[in-house]
Structure 1
Amino acid sequence: MLFIAVCLIAANLRVTIMGIGPLLDEIADDQHVSPAALGALASVPLLAWGIFSPLAQGFSSRFGMSRTVSGALVILALGTIWRSLPGPQANIWIGTALIGFGLAIGNVLMPAVIKRDFGERVPLVMGVYTALLSGSAAIAAGLVVPISHFEPGGSGQGLGWRVALLATGALIPPALIVWIWATRRPRPADPGPFLAGAESARATGGVEAAGPADDRAGRRIWRDPLAWRVSVYMGTQSAGFYMLSAWLAPYSASIGRDPVVAGIDVMIYQLFGIAGSLMLPLVARGRVRPWVPGAVPAITLIAVVGVLVAPALLPLWLVIAGTMTGSAITIALTLTASRARTARHAAALSGMAQSVGYLIAMCGPIAFGWVLGLGIGWAAPFALVWVSLAAQSVFGFSVRRQQYVLDRPERR
C-alpha cells in the first residue's frame, strides 16, 4: 500500500506545472501579455522550491514525514484550484506559488521516505518514482491543449485553459487518501544517529523526535563539498529540463507544427523520460555505473543540438533527449539518497540539493524567454540549454566516487 501511495504522489509532483508550457500562448492571449513575459510563470514553482525546500526537514522533524507530506498535498490541491479561478490575473500567480510550496515539501521528503522505507530496493523504487514523474508530466503536456479546446455538446466554445489546468489536479485527492491510509500507523524509525530512538517516534504518534543533531545536520550540510556538487548537478539538470519543457511547444509551433502536435512533441519528450528512468537501474551497473552521471547529459547535449540544427528529425531528437533526461532526473534524485548514510542525512541533502538546484533552475526559463524576446532567433536561447547540459556533465563526473555527505567529524 505504501508503494502505491508513493506512486500516486509521484504522479502529482510534476503534472500540475507541466501543463503550463503547451498553454503558454493561449494563456498569454487571454491575459494580454506576451508569451516571453509569461515564461516567468514557469519559474515561479522553481523559485518556491528554492526558497522552501530547506524548510521541509524542519517540518518533518516537528510533525513527522507522513503528516508533512499530507499537508503538502492539501496545499497542492488548494493551489491548483486557486490558479484556475476566474478574476484578477494575480490568481494564476498566487495559485502557482502555492503549488510550488506544496511541491517543494513533497520533492524533498519523498526521496527520504523511499530511503527510510525501502532499504535495498531504493534504486528500483526511485526508478519507478521518477518514471512516474516523467510519465504524469508527459500525459499533462499531451492532454491540456485537447482539454482546453474540447467543446462539450458541440457548443462551439472550448473549455479553456483554466479547466485544463484544473484537470491536472485530478489525482491529488486519491493520492492523499491512499497516503493517509498507508501511513496511519507509525513508520519505522530511521536507525541513523540523528534519531533519539524508536521509542521517541512511537511516543509522539510517529512524529520523529528532533534534537540538536538534526539542526546541526541542516547547518553542516551547507559546508559539505560533496553536497554542493550534488546540488549543482541537480540545478543544471533541472535548468535544462524546465527550459525545454516550457519552450519546446512554442519552438515546435514556430517551425510550422500544429499547436496540438506541438503539445504532443512535449509529451514525447516527457514520455520517453519514463523509459530512461526505468532503464537506468538496468544499465548503470558494474564499472559503467560511476560514469553514467556525466555521460547522460553529454548525450542529451547532442540531441538538443539536433533539435535546432536538424528540426526535420525533431521526433527522433526528442526521443533521445527525453530518454536521457529521464535517466538524469533519476540520477539526481538517487544521488540525494545514495550519497547519504541515513534517512535524516538524505532529507538534509535533498533539502539543500533542491533548494540550490531549483534556484539555479528557475533562472533557466526566465533567461530563455528574455533572450528569445530580443528577437535574435532560437539559437541564442538554445545555447543556454547547451551550457547547462555541459556543466551538468562536468559535475556528473565529479560525483562518480561512492562517498557520503557529513562523513567528516564536525569541527568545534
Structure 2
Amino acid sequence: MSTSASPAGNPAATPATGRPWWRSGALMLTAILLLAYNLRPAATEIGPVMPDLQADLGMSAGAAGLLTSLPPTCFAIFGLVAPTMAARLGLHRTIVLALAMLVVGSLVRTTVDGGWSFIAWSTFALAGLAMGNVLAPSVIRTHFPERIGLVTALYSLVLSIGVSVASALVVPMANAMGGWRPAFVAMTATAVVALVPWLFALRFDRSRPSATTTRPTTSISLRTVGRTRLGWAIAIFFGMQSGQAYALFGWLPSIYIGAGLSQEASGWLLGLMTALGVPLAFLWPAYMGRNPRPLTLQLVISASAFLGYLGLLVAPATLPWLWAVLLALGTSSFPLILAMFAMLARSSAGTIALSGFGQGVGYALALIGPLLMGVLYDVTHSWTAPLLLFLTLSVVMTIAGVTTITRPTIEDELGLP
C-alpha cells in the first residue's frame, strides 16, 4: 500500500481538499496523538512508587506481583473484546468508552484504602488501555489511509514519550505533591483532555456510509482471522517481540549485575536500551510509509536481537553498551507491527480484527517470556538457560516476522472483495 498519494503538484496535500493532510485531518490527528500519550502512564506510573503503594495500602508481595502482571494480562483479555465492542457501538464510541474507563479507573483507585480494591480499579483502567491499543490502528487506517506509515510513526513516538514521562516524573511529582495519590490524579489530567477531541469525533459514527465511515460493510471476526496464516503469524510475531521486551525490562539489570557490573551501571544500560527505542518508534513506521514490506529491516532487527543475546551469553561485561544497543534494535519491531495491522488490511473491519487477534493472542504469548526467564534462573541459578531460550525465541520471531511481511492482506487470505 502506498502512503504517499496526493494531488498533482502538491505532494503534501490531501486529495479531497488540496490542503496539507495534517490540516484537513487536524481533529483526528490531535485525537490519535492524545490517545497515544495516554495508553501507558496508568500502567508505567506504578512501578517507581511500588514501595509507597505497598506501605500505604498494606499490599503483600504476592499482590504486588499480580499488579505488575496486570498490563499484559489486560491487554490480552480486553484486546480480544475490543473488536466486538467496536462492531456493536462504533469505532469512535468504543474509544470514548475506553478513555472514560481509563479516567474513572485511574481516579477511583487513588481513593481506595486496600490493595485488592486498588488492583480491581487498576484492572478497570487497564481494560480501557487495552481497547485503545487494539482500535488505534483502525482509526489511523480509517482517517489517514494514504499516510498510515507517517501517522503510525507519530503515534508510536508519542506513545513512547508517554511511557518515558510517566516513569521519570511520577516520583518527583509524588514528592512535591505529598504522595502517590495526588501524583496519579495529576497524571490522569491528560486523559481527561484526550476525551475532548474524541467527543467531537463521535459524529463519524453517526454519519452515513462514506469513505470515512467506521462501520464496516463486511464483518471479519476474530475466529475468522484465527483460521489464517497471517493472523497467527502476526500474533506470534507480536508475542515474541513483546515477551522479549517485557523480559528485558524486568531482568536486564540483573543479568548485568550477575556479570559483575554495579547496580548503577546496570540501570544506566537499561536506560540506554529504552531511550534508543524512542526515536526508533518514529523512524520505523515512517520508513514503512515508503516501504510497506520492510523485509530487510526486519531481518536486521532480528539479527540484532540474536547478536545481543549472544553477547550477553558469551561476554556480558566486555562490551555491555553494545549488547544494550543491539537489544534496543532487536526489540524495536513493535511500531512496525502497529503499522502492519493497518497495512495488511484493506478495510477498517480487517484492521480491527487483525489488531484484536494479533494483540490479544500476542500479549497472552508475551506473558510467558518474563515468567520463563525467572523460572529458568531460579532452577539453574544461572542466566545461561534463559539467554539460550531467548536466542531461540529470536529465531521464532524472525520466522514469524518474515511470514507476516510476505503474506497478502487479511481480506485476500479470506477471499473477500
Normalising to structure 1: TM-score of the pair?
Answer: 0.80
Q: Is the 8 A contact 2:93 2:202 kept in 1?
A: no
SS across alignment from 1:407: helix
2:306 equivalent among 288, 291, 301:
301
Task: Give 1:67-106 correspondences, 5 Å limit.
Answer: 67-106=93-132
Q: Which residue of 1 aligns with 2:411?
A: 406
1:171 is aligned, of 190, 194, 207, to: 190
Is contact 2:285-2:336 (8 Å) kept?
Answer: no
Is 1:49–2:101 an aligned residue pair?
Answer: no
Match of 1:198 in 2: 209
Q: Would the aligned equivalents of 1:273 and 1:323 in 2 still touch at CA under 8 Å?
A: yes
RMSD: 3.5
Aligned to 2:233, the other structure's residue is in SS state helix
Gaps of 5+ in 1: 153-158, 190-196
| Superposition map of 1:315-334 within 5 A | 315-326=321-332, 328-334=333-339
Contact 1:84 1:162 (8 Å CA) reproduced: yes
Aligned amino acid, residue 156 of structure 2 = T
Match of 1:10 in 2: 36
Aligned to 1:117: 143
Determine the C-alpha separation between the residues in 1 that align with 2:185 and 2:256. 25
User: Aligned partners of 1:97, 1:392: CA distance in 2, in Å?
Assistant: 29
Equivalent residue for 1:232?
236
Distance 1:383 1:89, change over 3 A: farther
Checking the alignment, whether the CA contact within 8 Å between 2:90 and 2:205 is kept in structure 1 is no
Secondary structure of the structure 1 residue equivalent to 2:412: coil
1:349 counterpart (348, 354, 357): 354
Distance across 1 between alignment mates of 2:137 and 2:168:
27
Instruction: Give distance in 2, aligned partners of 1:306 and 1:17.
Output: 31
Whole-Å separation in 2 of the counterparts to 1:384 and 1:198 = 49
Superposed displacement of residue 135, structure 1:
2.1
Match of 2:203 in 1: 185
* Separation in structure 2 between the aligned mates of residue 85 and residue 311 of structure 1, nearest angstrom: 45
Q: CA deviation at 1:244?
A: 2.3
CA deviation map 1:311-343 (0-9, x unaligned) = 4755554444334534x1111112211111111
* Aligned counterparts of 1:383 and 1:162: Cα–Cα separation in 2: 42
Checking the alignment, whether the CA contact within 8 Å between 2:33 and 2:158 is kept in structure 1 is yes
CA contact (8 A) 1:237 1:392 kept: yes
CA distance in 2, matches of 1:145, 1:349: 37
Question: Once the two structures are aligned, what percentage of the paired residues are identical?
Answer: 28
Match of 2:245 among 241, 247, 258: 241
Closer, same or farther: CA 138–384 of 1 in aligned 2, 3 Å? farther
Counterpart CA distance in 2 for 1:59 and 1:94 is 21
Decide whether the 8 Å contact of 1:43 with 1:363 is kept in 2: no
Secondary structure of 1:186's counterpart equals helix
**Structure 1: which amino acid aligns with 2:393?**
S
The answer to whether the 8 A contact 1:134-1:271 is kept is: no
2-structure distance, mates of 1:380, 1:166: 42
- How far apart, CA to CA, are the structure 2 residues paired with 1:330 and 1:141? 20
Match of 2:188, SS state, is: coil
1:256 aligns with 2:262: yes
Please identify, of 139-148 and 59-68, the stretch whose mean Cα deviation from structure 2 is larger. Answer: 139-148
Q: Deviations over 1:188-236 (max 9, x none)?
A: 98xxxxxxx717x99xxx7x5577x42x544311111111101110111
Change (3 A) 1:184 1:396: closer
Match of 1:45, as an amino acid? P
Answer yes or no: is the 8 Å Cα contact 1:230–1:353 preserved in 2: yes
In structure 2, how many angstroms separate the alpha carbons of the residues matched to 1:246 and 1:14? Answer: 16
Aligned: 1:358 with 2:358: no
Contact 1:135 1:271 in 2 (8 A): no
Once the two structures are TM-superposed, the CA of residue 4 in structure 1 deviates from its matched residue by 1.5
* Unmatched 5+ stretches in structure 2: 1-26
- Alpha-carbon offset, residue 99 of structure 1: 2.7
1:129 Cα deviation from its structure 2 partner: 1.0
Aligned residue pair count: 385
Judged with a 3 Å threshold, the aligned counterparts in structure 2 of structure 1 residues 188 and 332 are, in CA distance, closer, same or farther, namely farther
Pair 1:380–1:41, CA change in 2 (3 A): farther
- For 1:194, the equivalent position in structure 2 comes to none
Q: Which amino acid aligns with 1:10?
A: A
Matched, 1:270 2:296: no
**Which whole-Å CA distance do the structure 1 matches of 2:54 and 2:282 have between them?**
36
